[in-house]
Structure formats: C-alpha cells, structure tokens
Structure 1
C-alpha cells in the first residue's frame, strides 16, 4: 500500500542531506539538530555519510523536542513581530491594495534580516539548555509523560 504521507522518510531525509545540505555545508563541522524521529537516523549508511562529511548529528530526545526547539523559543516571535511591522509599512505605502503572494517573499526577507542575528541564535540555544548544557532549562511537565510511561505499574497505554 503506497499512500501519500506528509511525514518524512529516511530516504527523503538522506537525499536532502546528500543533495542539499552537503552542497551548502560551510567549512568545519556543522551541528545538525534533529528531533529524534526514527525516519531521520535509523540508517547506518546515513550516519556514516554524515561522519564522512564532518557533520555532527545531535538527535534531541523524543517527547521533549518541543521544549528544545531553540528557534521556536527565541527567533520566531521576533520574526513574526518584524513581519507584522513590514506588512503594516507596505499597507501604508500601498493604500487600497492587499498583500498577495508576490509581496510576501520580500516582506519575509526584510523581516528575516531584522530578526535574524547571532545573538538571537545564541539566546535560543541558551534558553533551551542545549548549549551551554542546562538540564533545568526543560520545564518539568515535558518529563511527566515519559516518567508515567516508564512506571513499573504501567502495563498498558490508553490512547483514547
């Protein structure tokens, strides 16, 4: 059964790594953060390829990935704010017109240039405790599910 899926497969991820990531890889050893989903790293060939191309792969633990997304915690909020500013300026300069897909790329580009900075990136890694390592940066509720699942008295899982 070959159904279309929005989920990434190991093959698709491997092709992306080979054809897009490596082609744009800077000098040195870049760190590639993954969400720990099995489709990303369940292939020895993929891990060997990354090692051969000096790519460090760090798989974030499942169930707490949301707490470790450094861009979500530090970058996207300023990006949304900057985009709203750019969109507002555009609307003021172009009365009686609406923003359509032709303008969106330019507006996002302007917002990105304002929001993206080394400081924002560093703060994202610090806030999530990824670097420097801070195990207390992850809120306690993210551990509740895995603690409950690992309980010796828990013999079944109710998914309803």
Structure 2
C-alpha cells in the first residue's frame, strides 16, 4: 500500500463518502432500484503473462524456464456493471490510429474497439464511452460510480452524462483499493483466468512455442476470460462487499483503517505542538489543585537529585524577591 492510500483510507473520509452516497441514492430514488446503480472501471491488460508461473520438471532439474515477453503492449478494457449483475458490453482501447476489422472479430457481442495514442483512457474517449453506456443502460435516472481519474473529470463528460440522465459520482481519492467493487470481486479472477487462457493459447500451436498475442488474436484470450470473471456471483458480491447495494456503511472493517491510525495520532500531536504559545501558556495557567499537585510531583524528583549547593543558590536568589514584595505590601 502506498502512503497516500494509507493516509486517505480513514474513518472520517469513508464516513463522508457513505453520507454523500446515501444522499445521492435517496435523491435519485435508487435504493430500491439496483438495476440503475452502475460502477465502471478500466482494466489494464498486457499482451503477455501477468504473473510468474509454476513449471513441472524432472526431479533434480535445477534450471527450468518458461519464455515470456517482459515488455508487452498494453491494452485497456473498460468494464461496467450494475448492482444486479448486468454487464455493459466492454470497450477495448488499442494503441494506434487505424482500427482493423480483425481487431473486433471474436470479441463479446456488441463490444466496441477504440484507438488511442497510448492505449489508455482520455477525456475524449470517455465521452464516447458515455454514449456507448447510454445505449445499454435502463431508462430513467442512473447513478454511475467511478474513480476520480483526471480523464473522467471534464465539463464535456458532465454535459454528455446529463443528456442521458446519468449522475456521475466519484470515489474518494486513494481509497479505491477498499471501495471498488470490480477490483475486489472481478479483476482478481480476471488475472487468474488471463494467465490460464494465455497458456492454453500457446499450447494450441506446439509447432510455434514463441507465438505472441497480438491485437488480431486478442479476442482468442480475452473473450473466454471475460465470460468467466463477469458472472452474477462475482458482481453482486462486489457491490455487497463495498456497501453500495444493499447500502451498508458498516461493511468496511476496522482493521482496514489501521494504516491511517498512526497518521492520525501524528497529526494530533503536530496540532498540539504547533498551537500558539499564548494558548499553551493559558492552558498551563488554568491548572487547579490537581495541576499544582502534579507540578509538585514533576518537580520533586529533580529537587531530590539537585545537589545541596544548587539548593542554597536557589534560596538566595528567591529570598530578596519575597522581601521586596512584603515591603511594598506594608507601605
């Protein structure tokens, strides 16, 4: 976990998020209409294995290898589902300018392919995705929950969403590792099935063990994986675990806030240390008998450890001051 995630995932921010989500759901009347509560997210997919694999070999073999490209092209898949498990057809973002027909062949029904300069989401592409989303969402007011990435925040996106009765709702920054339904329930299984299907893709052509996955053959791996991970159970469990539907602000466990608790104590201490000197002196001067007793207790150990010569010096310094005070009082 990065420092930003540890700091931002704290009870104050999460409670504020659930308060605002509660207001929006009530205002749109969606607490009893889960079919109009959607969440979208982008999934980066490298055209190679995503994790290290276990390799079977003969007993005693010390060097066993599986060859895979270290640096492969990145593809972005835009996924979107609602709280009852309905899935919007995916949008695949390839790097490049021209889109070939072979890029679309074999993808899930009604999928769309868009070309971008880096194979990732941009503001202009997100407007096109809103148009795609509006074709398949149910009629009526719809809530679309997403992360607050820069490419999701533009006035043109808001205008396009308003035309289709879509209300955009952003998750708090650096909290998506605990508040994203797709990350928790869908994308984890996607990683597992992706590597499994890619190995199967290579095994189909034993005469070409170094066969690479390309844009033209992307659907041969992606489409089976998409069907396995985008199932009703995974999706509904994700929305339930994040407290979106059914709405439940208590689903995030206390241990999830543990990394931020140390930061909270440090901030409280900083506030106390940085308080104005006048306030700190006023707080000390407001002491009662208990504070006076405590002060004596604090000073007593030092007085006991103080050498006798120092005690005599202290008395001689304080004696004239007492005498001056009493003289003024008599006059």
Smaller-chain TM-score bracket: 0.5 to 0.7
How do 1:96-135 and structure 2 match up within 5 A?
A: 96=207, 97-102=209-214, 103-135=217-249
Cα distance 1:94–1:22, how it changes in 2: closer, same or farther (>3 A)? same
Indicate the SS of the match to 1:56. Answer: strand
- Asked if 1:141 corresponds to 2:258, the answer is yes
Q: Which residue, out of 145, 153, 157, partners 1:33?
A: 145
Q: 1 or 2, which has the higher helix percentage? A: 1
| Offset, 1:154 | 7.8
C-alpha distance in 1 between matches for 2:272 and 2:164: 43
| Offset, 1:55 | 0.6
| Offset, 1:110 | 1.2
8 Å CA contact 2:185, 2:238 repeated in 1: yes
Cα distance 1:149–1:134, how it changes in 2: closer, same or farther (>3 A)? farther
| Offset, 1:107 | 0.6
| Offset, 1:74 | 0.5
Q: Which residue, out of 271, 285, 293, partners 1:153?
A: 271
2:168 match: 57
More deviation, 118-127/144-153: 144-153
Q: Alpha carbon RMSD of aligned pairs, Å?
A: 3.5
Cα distance 1:155–1:17, how it changes in 2: closer, same or farther (>3 A)? farther
More deviation, 58-67/145-154: 145-154
More deviation, 34-43/109-118: 34-43
TM-score (norm 1): 0.68
Q: Deviations over 1:38-80 (max 9, x none)?
A: 664474x654542332112121112322211111111112112
Indicate the SS of the match to 2:247. Answer: coil
8 Å CA contact 2:131, 2:160 repeated in 1: no
C-alpha distance in 2 between matches for 1:114 and 1:108: 10
C-alpha distance in 1 between matches for 2:262 and 2:159: 33
| Offset, 1:113 | 1.2
- Unmatched 5+ residue regions in structure 1? 1-5
2:125 match: 16
- Say how many residue pairs are matched: 146
C-alpha distance in 2 between matches for 1:150 and 1:39: 32
